[in-house]
């Protein structure tokens, strides 16, 4: 009886630890929308900020790997997964996400990011042979309806950061790219330590982005950035890149992409509250309705998975 009680306590403790890590990661991802708005495009161009994120994370993950003595070698059969994970989840995701956030409304960006679990489910069906049931079909339709409503009513309400079709589209494509990354990482997550995976995907993603980004990065005028903006730069680089990816990859290794991806619920909550508080944004009725459709879609999409997990 005592052994059973200890096992149950350990399981609960581990569950709470993973859940807390994923909530924290999505807090950093969600509030990253505000941090990006505070820096780009005023002080640093979006492309350059995205590249700076990749470069910073690459250096830090290699340092962490060195001090943790995680010097694993990637097997040749896993090269394609690592390369495409780097291309989608790091290079394309970072460039599209930063550019999208910088050119659209922060509440739009926060709510549209929430479509990630729906994309994860679709990709998991295609590549991991997971079942595509009625819940996923309805969730997909509701998510599309919410995103479409948000895009076509982008001019509704007043804002210092107006929404744009291009910005919204880039945020959505970035979400698809990140979803692809979660699926690709799942296929190799059990074979290597998550630090090993992160250092290589960030290295490859940075190298892939260098020809496109290096010129703008070199031209950043560091002396023109005010001291007050450096907190937001710290938030983007350390909290929303290094720490958030670290926690999310650990979550994928523990729980898999679908369950981990469901924690994206917290991103629009944190992002929207921060946009209202920090940027004085307005949460209009239409944004609330569109966001509710996406929330409903994500909830219905994850219903069977959550039901099965509890059994």
Is residue 305 domain-resident? yes
Domain count along the chain: 1
pTM comes to 0.78
pLDDT value for 258: 66
pLDDT value for 54: 94
Is residue 63 domain-resident? yes
Q: Is residue 260 packed enough to be buried (19+ CB in 10 Å), middle (13-18) or exposed (0-12)?
A: buried
Is residue 15 domain-resident? no
Measured from the Cβ of residue 15, the count of other Cβ atoms closer than 10 Å reads 12
Q: Which of 287, 251, 257 is nearest to 125 (CA)?
A: 257
Low-confidence spans in the chain with pLDDT less than 50: 4, 305-311
Is residue 8 domain-resident? no
Distance linking the first and last C-alpha atoms of the chain: 21
Is residue 251 domain-resident? yes
Q: How many angstroms separate the CA atoms of 30 and 121, rounded?
A: 21
Is residue 22 domain-resident? no
Is residue 295 domain-resident? yes
Print the domain residue range for 218.
30-309
pLDDT value for 141: 82
pLDDT value for 53: 92
**Residue 155 in tokens:** 């001019």
For the stretch 68-97, pLDDT in tens is 887 888 999 999 999 999 999 999 999 999
For the stretch 104-151, pLDDT in tens is 888 878 878 777 777 877 787 777 777 777 777 887 788 778 777 777
pLDDT value for 9: 60
Is residue 191 domain-resident? yes
CB contact set of 81 (below 8 Å; sequence gap of 6+): 184, 185, 187, 188
Cis status of the peptide bond prior to 158, with omega within 30 of 0? no
């Amino acid at each position: 009886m005592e052994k059973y009680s200890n096992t149950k306590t350990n399981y609960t403790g581990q569950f709470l630890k993973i859940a807390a890590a994923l909530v924290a990661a999505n807090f950093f991802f969600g509030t990253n929308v505000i941090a990006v708005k505070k820096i780009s495009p005023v002080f640093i161009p979006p492309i350059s900020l995205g590249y700076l994120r990749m470069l910073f994370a690459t250096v830090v993950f290699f340092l962490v790997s060195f001090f943790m003595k995680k010097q694993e070698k990637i097997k040749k059969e896993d090269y394609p997964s690592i390369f495409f994970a780097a291309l989608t989840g790091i290079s394309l995701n970072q460039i599209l996400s930063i550019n999208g956030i910088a050119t659209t409304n922060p509440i739009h960006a926060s709510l549209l990011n929430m479509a990630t679990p729906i994309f994860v489910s679709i990709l998991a069906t295609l590549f991991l042979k997971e079942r595509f049931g009625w819940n996923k079909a309805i969730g997909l339709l509701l998510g599309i309806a919410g995103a479409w409503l948000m895009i076509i009513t982008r001019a509704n309400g007043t804002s210092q950061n107006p929404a744009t079709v291009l910005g919204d589209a880039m945020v959505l494509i970035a979400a698809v790219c990140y979803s692809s990354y979660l699926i690709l990482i799942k296929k190799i997550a059990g074979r290597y330590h998550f630090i090993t995976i992160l250092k290589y995907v960030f290295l490859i993603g940075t190298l892939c982005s260098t020809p496109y980004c290096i010129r703008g990065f070199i031209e950043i005028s560091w002396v023109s950035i005010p001291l007050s903006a450096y907190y937001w730069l710290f938030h983007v680089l350390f909290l929303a890149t290094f720490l958030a990816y670290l926690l999310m990859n650990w979550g994928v290794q523990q729980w898999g992409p679908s369950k981990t991806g469901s924690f994206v619920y917290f991103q629009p909550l944190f992002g929207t509250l921060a946009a209202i508080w920090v940027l004085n944004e307005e949460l209009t009725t239409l944004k609330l309705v569109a966001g509710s459709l996406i929330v409903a879609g994500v909830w219905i999409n994850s219903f069977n998975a959550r039901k099965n997990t509890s059994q």
